Amino acid sequence: MFSFPRFLFLIIYIYVYTDSGAQIPEQPTSIEREMRAAWVATVENIDWPSSKKLTAEQQQKEFKNIVSRYAEAGFNALFVQIRPCADAFYPSPFEPWSPYLTGARGKDPGYDPLKFMIDECHQQGLEFHAWFNPYRAIINIANDRSDISHITKLKPEWFITYGSIKLFNPGIPDVWTYIKEIVMDVVKKYDIDGVHLDDYFYPYKIPGKPFPDSKTYRIYNNGMKVDDWRRQNVDTVIHLLHDAINKEKPYIRFGVSPFGVWRNKYIDAEGSATRAGCTNYDDLYADILKWLKKDWIDYAAPQLYWETGNRLCDYNTLTKWWNDNSYGKDIYIGHAAYRMMEKTPSWSSSNQICTQVQVLRNHGNVKGSVYYNTNSMMKNPHHIMDSLRLNYYSIRCLAPFKKGLVIAKPAKPVIKRYDKFSKIIQLDLNDSAINNLRFVVLYINNSIYKIMEVNIYVKTILVENNLAQYKLSYIDKFGNESEGTVVKE
């Protein structure tokens, strides 16, 4: 058994009459839950911070702008990379400050970026999912400036060099424990909504260059073939993380963003009708279907970075395959926003991704989207952000919650006061109650208008519209909604 969650969501429904002739193209009248997220990559300063030379104030301003842009466009979550290369965007007892913050590994940026980012996301109504790269330690060994305190120097026997990168050896049991400790340090200390891993398990293969783990295999193979042994190594880390996260904070969602093809059908009857040159199962040793079957992950967000009609990996084919092989878990589709920067016919307008959104909504187990990458999205190529904001995401919704947890509904909200002249709702909240709340969500005509975090400063809500009726309800971190409270003038 586990204790009742400390945090709850507060929802305010606001009903108004609008012009019945106004229609939103391509948008269902009601979507109860849908993941509308974006990846924020920090490695190599891809998305944030945009430069290692920014001051703390400049970094914060830049991140606030990112959150604001996504919130305005109807998004409800960010997946932010907080551990790109055995480094940290937070004060870690295990690893040094990331060089992508200050230009120097181990240099304190003068604030806690992770806490700042979580707070900023929650204040603007977005969930925060902590994105970890589990195995990568040094992205370019030729440029490595790690000192003697770095884990690659303290535990050199844990690492393998492959091509230009140095990574944790996935076959060493002490590495499994270390990765779990890294993730759990964040889970315990920070108010995150999810733990997210990307597609980098065993590295993408370099043609003609075998992965140099033969010595580790001889020690730990336990009679297995090398490919099966490698898959078991990754399985073990996934299983360890699942169990540890659920024991500590069972409401946190744990998911993986795999390469878009699990296995080709011409190799395995369970696979997709694709001809990918690389697959999760055979090349990255990530058996995603096994993790879904065994309930080791709460969702998969496959990176379907191909267009509709691609002769090797068709988007529509893969979306249906993941939907049909979800094993009761949510599937979020990873979209290639960065490809809209290409000068190719398939990606020469916003139609490609907009059509992809329409397609995924026709599949019952596909519950939303994640877009890569933020740098591309912020440039609004072919007005993609405008298309999402005005059409597909104009009716806002909350992100999906974790399945399979049976928790008592939170208590019905109590309104202290509503002043129809000043248009202020005053919430009956003491400081203790505030600790059990997360978001205030304003609904207009059954549609979310605005989401904001409940905190010590938000006990009153200013409503900008002339409205006659309000309804308030709570949603806890497990996704349970309370009975509603109607507020009348």
Return the bridge partners of 372, or none.
336
Q: Give the model's pLDDT for residue 8.
A: 36
Arithmetic mean of pLDDT, 457-462: 58
* Count of alpha carbons within 13 angstroms of residue 298, beta-carbon side: 23
d(CA 218, CA 208): 22
Q: Give the model's pLDDT for residue 373.
A: 97
- In degrees, to the nearest 5, what angle opens at C-alpha 330 toward C-alphas 380 and 76? 40
Q: Give the model's pLDDT for residue 420.
A: 73
Q: For 234-251, how does the pLDDT look when each residue is reduced to its tens digit (9 = 90+)? A: 999 999 999 999 999 999
- Terminal alpha carbon distance of the chain: 43
Cβ pair 86, 133 in contact under 8 A? no
pLDDT score of 169 more than 50: yes
What does the domain layout of the chain look like in residue ranges? 1-24+408-489, 34-392
Q: Give the model's pLDDT for residue 482.
A: 72
Backbone φ and ψ of 304, nearest 5°: -95, 80
How far are the Cα atoms of 54, 60, 81, 337 from residue 114, in angstroms, in the given order? 16, 11, 10, 25
Cβ pair 346, 307 in contact under 8 A? yes
How confident is residue 64, by pLDDT bands cut at 50, 70 and 90?
very high
pTM of the model: 0.91
Arithmetic mean of pLDDT, 326-351: 96
Q: For 296-332, how does the pLDDT look when each residue is reduced to its tens digit (9 = 90+)? A: 999 999 999 999 999 999 999 999 999 999 999 999 9
**Between 16 and 354, the higher pLDDT residue:** 354
Range list of β-strands (E), 69-213: 77-83, 127-132, 136-138, 159-162, 165-168, 194-197
Torsional sign, CA 199, 96, 249, 34 = negative
* Count of alpha carbons within 13 angstroms of residue 199, beta-carbon side: 21
Q: Give the model's pLDDT for residue 332.
A: 98
Arithmetic mean of pLDDT, 355-360: 98
CATH code for 34-392?
A: 3.20.20.80
Return the bridge partners of 488, or none.
469
Q: For 427-447, how does the pLDDT look when each residue is reduced to its tens digit (9 = 90+)? A: 776 666 666 667 766 666 667
Q: Give the model's pLDDT for residue 269.
A: 97
**Cα radius of gyration (the chain):** 23
Range list of β-strands (E), 273-347: 299-300, 330-336
d(CA 211, CA 109): 36
Q: Is 23 exposed, middle or buried (0-12, 13-18, 19+ CB in 10 A)?
A: exposed
Helix and strand totals (H; E) in the chain: 13, 19
Quick count: other Cβ atoms within 10 Å of Cβ 270? Answer: 12
How confident is residue 455, by pLDDT bands cut at 50, 70 and 90?
low
